[in-house]
Amino acid sequence: MPPRVHVLICIVYRRRISHDPQRCANIGTTKDRISDHMGLYSAIARPLLFRFPPETAHRVGDYALRFTPLWRALRPLLATRNERLNTSVAGIEFPNPVGVAAGLDKDCKFLPGLLDIGFGFATGGTVTLDPRPGNARPRVIRETGQRALLNALGFPGDGLEAAEKQLQRLPVDRRSQILVSISGTEIEDIAECHRRLQPLVAGIEVNVSSPNTAGLRTFHEPENLDRLVSALVAQRERPLLVKLPPWRNDEERSEMIPMAATSLKAGADGLVIANTHPTEDERLAMGRGGFSGAPLFGDTLRMVKDLRTELGKDFALIACGGIGTADQVWQLMQAGASAVQLYTSFIYEGPGLPGRINRDLVKLMSASH
Ligand SMILES: Cc1cc2nc3c(=O)[nH]c(=O)nc-3n(C[C@H](O)[C@H](O)[C@H](O)COP(=O)(O)O)c2cc1C
């Protein structure tokens, strides 16, 4: 950012804060001030956005994040750089461990904006071979009281060719922070997405866990999962992660731990744990969907501990589900997560969130040594 613009932004923010002596006393750096004003999201932007149906609000957010010059200009003020945050996931180096989960940018249209606001990496997709309209509406519902969402989108998207074009436009230096999620119901289709997209990104996440897509359960069978992962490993040029469904009781656990073991045995470099939690709800046209957001955190922590106990330390593990604070990221990393991804907390907290988590994480890291 040009120094003059930086100075101007600092002056504006200092003036606005200086009306309140208490806040002046508590607020240290310019970044804290900017982040504090990103509280404007909760005070103004979120109430406005939440007046619209979720998918409309999401489209408004998409457009805002596509306005790359703004986020690039704000980057030095929003994003936190600190060596302690450097993170390695299956050999991919990220500047911090807080990533965007799949589904937020399904067509890979605003990934640079997500990096500029301070995420260490962003996951585009889920991309499928052909364009898909997704499921019938209503298919997204906010559970505001719980800071949660219910969705039954079913992979609406522009398909492989459109995503490939978007990713080809990415500046090469941004690609090192991009993962892309792929899926489908046929191994050949998924392999085609894998072959064409992996040269354009740092790593691939194969999604076998959306609760909203008919046919995906076929990969819950260990033999089918083994065939899929083995086919991708055979043509792998970049790290390959498998995103699994969650487990909430012993019965589900006895199905999912073997899925994790099968993925790793077939050669995957790591796992993403987990997708949304399947739930029935009559408000969704489908009558069921996936639950995400704050209430999931306890399960996410438990699943990370389960996997490290059952399968050891020798694979990358991205934790996903209900994450929204540095303390939670810290707990997950202590339990063995290599990095985290989030989606729903970003909808509720807005663009100040990744910077805030990372700043608080540095404090926790400093305090622990
Ligand atoms: C509206 C919505 C759409 C999603 N779409 C996808 C998707 O396309 N692919 C995928 O792997 N996960 C998808 N997810 C799941 C998230 O990536 C994540 O696993 C889940 O929401 C739990 O994280 P959270 O509690 O931080 O939201 C979606 C989630 C939501 C709320």
Which of 292, 320, 342 to probe ligand 1 with, by most ligand atoms within 8 A of CB?
A: 292
Helix axes 353-368, 30-37, angle to 10 degrees: 140
Residue nearest (by alpha carbon) to ligand 1 atom 3: 103
Q: Read off the tokens for 196.
A: 């064409």
Of how many residues is the chain composed?
Answer: 369
Domains along the chain with CATH numbers: 78-368 (3.20.20.70)
Q: What is the mean pLDDT of residues 273-280?
A: 96
**Cis geometry, peptide bond prior to residue 300 (ω within 30 degrees of 0):** no
Predicted local distance difference test score (pLDDT) of residue 319? 98
Atom of ligand 1 nearest to the CA of 292: 25
Residue nearest (by alpha carbon) to ligand 1 atom 18: 275
Q: How far is the CA of 185 from the centre of ligand 1 (A)?
A: 18
pLDDT digits over 229-248, tens only? 999 999 999 999 999 999 99
Predicted local distance difference test score (pLDDT) of residue 369? 76
pLDDT digits over 90-118, tens only? 999 999 999 999 999 999 999 999 999 99
Residue nearest (by alpha carbon) to ligand 1 atom 11: 102
Which range among 21-30, 147-156, 205-214, 322-331 shows the weakest confidence by mean pLDDT?
21-30
pLDDT digits over 315-335, tens only? 999 999 999 999 999 999 999
Atom of ligand 1 nearest to the CA of 345: 26
Quick one: pLDDT band at residue 21, thresholds 50, 70, 90?
A: very low
Query: Which of 251, 243, 317, 248 shows the shortest CA–CA distance to 277?
Result: 248
Q: For residues 21 and 164, give the distance between their C-alpha atoms in angstroms, rounded to a whole number.
A: 51
Q: For residues 119 and 98, give the distance between their C-alpha atoms in angstroms, rounded to a whole number.
A: 6
Cβ of 153 less than 6 Å from ligand 1: yes
Q: How far is the CA of 6 from the centre of ligand 1 (A)?
A: 35
- Mean residue pLDDT across the chain: 90
Q: For residues 13 and 37, give the distance between their C-alpha atoms in angstroms, rounded to a whole number.
A: 8
Report which listed range, 3-12, 262-271, 345-354, is most confident: 262-271
Instruction: Determine the distance from the C-alpha atom of residue 263 to the mean position of all C-alpha atoms in its chain, rounded to a whole number.
Output: 21
pLDDT digits over 185-232, tens only? 999 999 999 999 999 999 999 999 888 777 778 999 999 999 999 999
